[in-house]
Structures are given as structure tokens and as C-alpha cells.
Copies of this chain bind each other. A is one copy, B any other.
């Protein structure tokens, strides 16, 4: 029982119809994918979302301190908290992202929780699942094919091929597709030009799917995708190419939330999985809205630390979807705090109270971010076996001295039972009043929004736009995109744009290198660093160990 896959396979799941029935969903509301997975049909979604007298659950938003290679286990705590709340008699539902398949074959590690706090069936969830990623790839690549097809057939829209910014996507770590030339081979091969492949989760189509309330909004947003410019410098959209309807058709099932369960039978919606830097990094709003109608408490997760995913939830998701958080959990680990205090990976197993204390500045900075949105919060200390009693006590004492709610948990090793203390604190936080306020208002300029995030969230002195970004800003303002929201693409390893600056750096300027328009998603991505949109495989990819045994069972997945 020493790996996630073995633990996941050791549990006999409840039929998904039973999990659904506990939420008041009948067989007619479900589209089954085998025995343990289901999508929720549109009529059920509409019935619940439009119910004028329906109850509305509370939203607990999961975030974390600045991630390190030591690992924080945010998804594991999210799943475990859901399990623990159920143990305390609450009707809790977990909503998390669908993992990307590509990385599964690269480095060891899934994205469906871990240990005794996982969503299952984990093999399915980490591989094809219900086909959402494939549908997103197909819808995305249909638009990409339509662009090059338009160039080939005379270019009626007068698209300038050098301005085409819309890539193709594949759900695979494939370094050789990062930079390519397409359209070779003469007259029958299209128009030659440089282009790129992104991994599917980096597609704007993914971000759009996760921010759409219903099919017609999805189509509207898809139509707004800007793929490049004409020779007059004006934006060219998917609607100009007339394929947004067909893209919507390809996404008709993908927009329906996927219901699965945790190892303890807690219902979980695993739906949508946008990147946490060039997109907003949260699971679909349609799943979270539905979960809020079906459950008493929805535990949902934002990407990376509070500076990234949490900010994006507050400034993009919550205002777009009308989903203000009622409480926030900040996940921290002793190992990560010690890393922020200067300890190297090799020494993390040793007790080091001085380094731990030094690392608390990182936690404090994240708490400061969360406090600004005026929502109660709890600090979760996600235990590892190497943590000493004194180390745990130090963090608890520190938090209590500040009057912060805090609880250690061991959901990895004990499942929901190991999260009961945390769950109790979360219930306590939910009793407190919340007055949710985003970091910026919608009316501000793009520059103001970027500056606000940099100062209020990252603690920067200000921002500096590199020349390319300044040019892009003028184009965006001139073409009607000057009031969109901002999606900051920054390293997750630091509050600053320097991934080596752990802890709580101060006195820095955030450098914005590039602005990328995601008009369908409704935001402008501000790149404050190199953001990898297509990962590569390592020298010995995990794929070499993944296999089918003689009984047809998957082995070596993690």
C-alpha cells in the first residue's frame, strides 16, 4: 500500500448513481460513463441553477503558500477536507480541476489527490476520463485548421499571417512541437509560416469552457477569440471565420460537469483544468455553481499560491460567475516553510526550527493577501512524516498568537479522519461574517489592474512594461480591449518575477514582458516571465513504466 494507484485500486467505489442519488440527482439527470463516472445533463443543471427557492451552499476556497519542489499537497487537502466535512455530517462536495494527460507520461505524479485523499477512478481521471480534454483539443484545432484553410483559399479576410497568435494544441508533452513551420510541401500544403503547439490545458478554449455558464455563452465567447490581425491591424475572430458554432458542437458534452467520488464516497466534480498562469487555473464555474445548489459546503481549489490562483479566483472567477468565497483555507507544509527559510531539499528531513521560523514570512504574506478580500480563513498544516512535534507546534503557536484559525491535518495518511480538526476549524470560519471584495474593480485600465495586483498582492513597488508590452497595450486599448480583466502569468515560486526569490521578497519592480489577448475568456494575460506552454518529456519518461498487467490492470501509473 505504498503508492497512490494501489490505494486507489484497493477501494471498491460506490456506483456513481448512488453518489448522485445522495445529492438528489436521479438516473435521468445523469449521462453515465461506465459505472463510476457520470456527466450531469443540461436539464438537471438548469433545473437546479434556476430554482428560485433552491438552497445555496457555502464555498470554501483552497489556496496555499508559495509552492516549492517539496510539494504542498493542496489537492490532497482539498479532497481530504471534503471527506472530513462529510464525516462531521455535512453534505460537502469537492470541485477540482481535471488533470492534463500529457504530464502523466512525463514525470511521476498525478493530479487527483494522494494517499487516502484521492478522487477515483484515478486511472480514468488521469487519462482520457470523459473525453473533455480531447474535445477541447478538437474544438481548438478546428479553429486552427480554419485559419490556415482561410489563408490557402485566397485569404478573403486579408489576415496577416505574421500576426497569427492562435496555436494548435495536443494533450501531450511534446517539446519538438514548441516551435514549428507549417504549410510546407508546395501548392497542396498550404501557406508556410511559423507556428506553435501548446499543451491542451493552455488553450484559450479551456479557459472559456471553465468560465461559461451555459452553451450559448460558450458559443458567444468562442466567437470572440482573436486569432490574429488583418493587414490593417484590426482583430480577426473565430466568428469572422464562422467556426464558433461547430466548435460549440464539439464541446456540447465537455461543458457538462463530471461527477466522481473520493475514496470515502464524497461527491466530487472534476471538471475543466486551465493553466494556472496563462489562464485562471480554477475548475469550471458551471460545476461549482451546480455543487453550491446540491451541497451544503463546496470545497474548491485555486491554482498555485494565494498570489496566483487565489487572486485569479477573486478577480476573474468570483465576479464573472457570482461565486464569492465564504471561507479560505491556506495550505502550508513544514517542509515548504523550511524551504522558504533557506533549507535545501536534501536537509528537509531534519528538524530545523530556526529555518521554519524564518520561512513563516511566506505564510504571513499569503495571509496578508487573503485578509484583503475580507473573508474568514484557516491555515491548514498538511503533515508529512518527517515533521517534528516541535515544528508543528511552532507554526500552530505562531498562528494562534496572531489570532488566526489553524489546524494540522493528515488526510494523506488517514483520509477524512485525519482532517476532522481542520474541518471543525473551517466550520468555525464559516460562522464568521464574510464581506468579499475583489482586489480591483472592473472599470480600471489594464495598466491600473496590473499595477494593483503587483502592489497589493505581490508586494512590488510597481510595474515596468517592456517595449513589446507597451506596444501591445496601445493596440489592446485602441481595439476595445482596454477594460478587460488581467490574468497575470508569473512564476509560482516567488511573489516576484524571479523564481529564485523565495520567502517574502520586497522592494522589487514587476517586469511585464508581453501582453496576450484572451478575448473569449475575457482577460489579457500579462507575462512577467517565461511561461512554458508546452512541456517536454524527461530523459526517462514515466511512460516507460506504465503498462498493462496480464489481468488487464494498469500498473506503474504513479
* Residues of A near any B CB (own CB < 8 A): 31-35, 42, 101, 105, 127-128, 131, 134-135, 137-138, 141-142, 144-146, 148-149, 152-154, 168, 170-185, 188-191, 194, 215-216, 219, 242-243, 245-246, 248-250, 252-253, 536-539, 541, 543-544, 546-548, 550, 552, 554, 556-557
Closest residue on chain B to residue A175 by CB atoms: B190
Interface residue from B173, B189, B249 paired with A548 (Cβ < 8 Å): B249
Max chain B CB contacts within 10 Å: which of A179, A216, A250?
A179
- A185: which B residues are within 8 A, CB to CB? 178-179
Instruction: Give the distance to chain B from A295, nearest Cβ to Cβ, in Å.
Output: 24
Contact between chains at B215 and A552 (CB < 8 Å): yes
Whether A172 contacts B537 by the Cβ 8 Å rule is no
CA distance A177 to B177 in the complex (A): 12
* A42: nearest chain-B partner, CB-CB: B552
Residues of B within 8 Å of A184, CB to CB, are 178-181, 194
The answer to whether A554 touches B131, judged by C-beta atoms less than 8 angstroms apart, is no
Which B residues are in CB contact (< 8 Å) with A179? 183-185, 189
CA distance A556 to B242 in the complex (A): 13
What distance in Å separates the Cβ of A19 from its nearest Cβ neighbour in chain B? 16
Q: Could you say how many copies of this chain the assembly holds? A: 2
Residues on B with beta carbons closer than 8 Å to the beta carbon of A189: 175-176, 178-179
Given contacts A243-B544, A246-B546, contact A176 B188 (CB under 8 A): no
Q: Which of B138, B194, B544 contacts A246 (CB 8 A)?
A: B544
Asked if A149 and B175 make an inter-chain contact with CB atoms under 8 angstroms apart, the answer reads yes
Provide the residues of chain B in CB contact with A171, threshold 8 Å.
138
Chain B hits for A154, CB < 8 A: 539
CB nearest neighbor in B for A41: B34
- Contact status B172-A177, CB under 8 Å: no
One of B42, B101, B180, B541 near A182 (C-beta < 8 A):
B180
**Complex Cα spacing A138 to B145, Å:** 19
Q: Within 8 Å CB of A543, what residues of B?
A: 142, 146, 242-243, 246
Q: How far is the CA of A558 from the CA of B174 in the complex (A)?
A: 35
| Min CB–CB distance A542 → chain B (angstroms) | 8
- Please tell me which one of the listed residues B135, B173, B249 contacts residue A547 in the complex, with CB atoms under 8 A apart: B249
A191 to chain B, nearest CB (A): 7
| Closest-CB distance, A322 to chain B (whole angstroms) | 22
Q: How far is the CB of A258 from the nearest CB of chain B, in Å?
A: 13
**Least Cβ distance of A373 to chain B in Å?**
36
A552 to B216 alpha-carbon distance, docked (Å): 8
Which of B174, B245, B546 is close to A249, meaning CB atoms less than 8 Å apart?
B546
**Neighbouring B residues of A149 by C-beta, 8 Å:** 174-176, 536-537, 541
Instruction: Determine the chain B residues whose CB is within 8 A of the CB of A105 once the complex forms.
Output: 142, 145, 246
Q: List 11 A-B contacts (CB under 8 A).
A: A31-B34, A31-B35, A138-B172, A146-B541, A168-B177, A175-B189, A176-B182, A177-B182, A179-B184, A245-B546, A246-B546
| The one of B183, B544, B550 that contacts A176, using a Cβ cutoff of 8 Å | B183
**B190–A178 CB distance below 8 A:** yes
Q: Which residues of B contact A183 (CB under 8 A)?
A: 175-176, 179-180
The smallest beta-carbon distance between A113 and chain B, in angstroms, is 20
CA distance A176 to B137 in the complex (A): 17
